A and B are shown apart, each in its own frame.
Chain A
Amino acid sequence: MNRKHKEMLYFTAFRACALLVVLALVILVGYMVTGGLGKISLEFLTEMPRRANTEGGILPAIMGTFYLMVIVLVVSVPIGVMSAIYLVEYEQSSWMGRMFKLAVYNLAGVPSIVYGLLGLSIFVGYLGFGFSLISAGLTLSIMTLPLMITASREAISAVPQSVRDASTALGATKWQTIWHHVLPYALPGIFTGIILSVSRAAGETAPLMLTGVAMSLQTLPDSFFDSFMALPYHLFYMATQSSDLLATRPLQYATALVLLLLVLGMNMVAIVMRKRYRDKYKW
């Protein structure tokens, strides 16, 4: 076998690997779509579950996930963006900056179930929020914080230094520079990060199991301190604990498909947005 043949052999193998990965995505999504599409209807999306989830819709689960996303948006986004501004613009190289970055990096690697333990002992226990929407939402907010910070940091540091220098040279203060000249350019990147973080929060299950997700509810949560249902946990519960696993399989597929469409839809918006933004600003 000469060198050219060897090269061809290896490169074909690499191409096969890449195709395999894309194939895995297609198979996964394909099964969810074919399994669940027939079952999704207006009633399924807008009705309460009946007979211990074996009939009826998933409205409380959809609304629960929606509320969680709102909490994450309200809590995690401002903190994340402010941290990112601070890390890029104010604290570049001091030991404190390094410590902050190390903390964010390690926070990103903490397993999601450990965040569940955090939520259980701090929000449910010490702060007395109980097993509730707010406990779960705050837990998810902390979990998505590192993602939020990293994405915003990249967007802000992609703005060239010359923009800052020009603004400062005209007499603008540091904050005026950031507010009027750095953030507007970084905004599309930050929005991409926000969408990705919120979609991550929407799909997360393990922390919810320790902070108050309910198996089946006939009502929507009235306040932040109520128990709630959520799409991913609903899928887990239906697929593993439901009273008749096989009979409810179509419902399981349909729930999976709704969750998948929600998360993938958000991901795709983020990807397209980032592409547009990259094409628009080429520094």
Chain B
Amino acid sequence: MALKLPVRNKQGRGRRRNEHVPSRERAIRYVLMAATWISVLALAAVFTELLLGAFPAFTSINIVDFFTGTVWNPSHPLYPLYGVLPLFVATLMVAFAAALIAIPIGLGCTIYLAELASPRVKAIFKPAIEILAGIPSVIFGFFALVILSEWIAMVFDPVNKLNALNGAIMLAVMMIPIMVTVAEDAINAVPNNLREASLALGATRWETVRHVVLPSALSGIVAAIVLAFGRAVGETMTVLMATGNSTLLSFDFLRSVQTMTAAIAIDFGEVASGSDHYHVLFLVGLMLFVITFVINFLADWVVRRFREEYK
């Protein structure tokens, strides 16, 4: 047999290995690789299908009006108006308010679990938070619809019983478990000798947390917040059931609003396939996809910077 020149090693890590790979091994490798490609294809399919679905809308409706229009009334028989602003504003309003509620509570909860709680308390609290994260969103929506809205009506005297505040509070409860899980990892990754050094210098535990631990874990905490925010933007059932689905542009938290996700979920029930409305909904979906993609990308970028800090 002729002398084989060393070929580029596909199995990585630059090591030279025995050149002979049994055919069964090679076949297994290809099967596994094919399975992995499915994820990439799925992501590509999501993007392509949104583009294809939304594409006809670029010619059939005025795209500038879509992004700047303040009226969303797609089911008007003669003059349907496709202004995405009311939906976009509602999505941001609900998600930002939810973040405002979730950030302090989630952060407090994270610090308690990571720095203060005894192992025994942790053994109860951590599964509880995990279980909260596992509750289906439709149940959060149902709770907001039936119970939380009544509580809000008692306190605030809202314009509509189902309103943006209702959705925001419920979303906050859903965001906290995601936030706590990621942020706790970040705090746990701070090396213990930093804490010990700070305590040895006479700082109290709170001063250590405030001036040593939190700054060191900052990017991980920011990533946790961004990630949770992304989930809040993409959440459908909770806001669909909690916020009342009025499509009027409004900045009032005590009024009913409709988010982008809710509009897609509701309108598809009545829309004719291939109509303008159908394609516009895909465009809304595309917008949603791009927004969450950017948010996730930001979170990933922040986390990766964080990893480099402690190697």
Contact = CB atoms under 8 A, between A and B. Distances in A.
A105 B45 CA distance: 15
Given A107-B39, A205-B137, A113 B288 contact: yes
B68 to A, nearest CB: 23
A83 B230 CA distance: 25
A25 B132 contact: yes
A63 interface: no
Interface in A39-81: 78-79
B29 to A, nearest CB: 6
Interface residues of A, number: 87
Contacts of A21: 105-106, 109, 125, 128-129, 132, 176-177, 180
Nearest to A210: B268
A240 B12 contact: no
Contact of B36 (A86, A196, A267): A86
Interface string A254-273: 00100110011001100100
Interface in B222-264: 227, 230-231, 233-237, 240-241, 261, 264
Interface stretch (B58-66, B80-88, B138-146): B138-146
Does more than half of chain A's interface fall in helix, strand or loop, or is it mixed? helix
B105 A271 contact: no
A110 B240 CA distance: 18
A11 B206 contact: yes
A279 to B, nearest CB: 12
Interface stretch (B71-79, B187-195, B292-300): B292-300
A111 B233 contact: yes
A15 B265 contact: no
Contact of A31 (B147, B231, B237): B147
B29 A114 contact: no
Given A7-B206, A94-B12, A110-B292, A20 B105 contact: yes
A111 B234 contact: yes
Contacts, number: 267
Interface string B21-53: 010110011011101101110110110011011
Given A82-B31, A205-B136, A267-B130, 10 more contacts: A7-B207, A18-B108, A20-B109, A106-B293, A111-B233, A113-B288, A116-B265, A121-B52, A204-B136, A264-B134
Interface of B: 11-13, 22, 24-25, 28-29, 31-33, 35-36, 38-40, 42-43, 45-46, 49-50, 52-53, 104-109, 111-113, 116-117, 124-125, 127-132, 134-143, 145-147, 173, 176-177, 180, 204-207, 227, 230-231, 233-237, 240-241, 261, 264-265, 268-269, 281-282, 285, 288-289, 292-293, 295-297, 300
11 contacts: A6-B204, A17-B105, A18-B113, A25-B132, A25-B135, A86-B33, A92-B13, A110-B292, A111-B292, A142-B42, A175-B28
Interface of A: 3-4, 6-7, 10-11, 13-18, 20-22, 24-25, 28, 31-32, 78-79, 82-83, 85-87, 90-94, 97, 99-100, 102-107, 109-118, 120-122, 142, 145-146, 149, 173-175, 196, 199-200, 202-206, 209-210, 232-233, 235-236, 239-240, 249, 252, 256, 259-260, 263-264, 267-268, 271
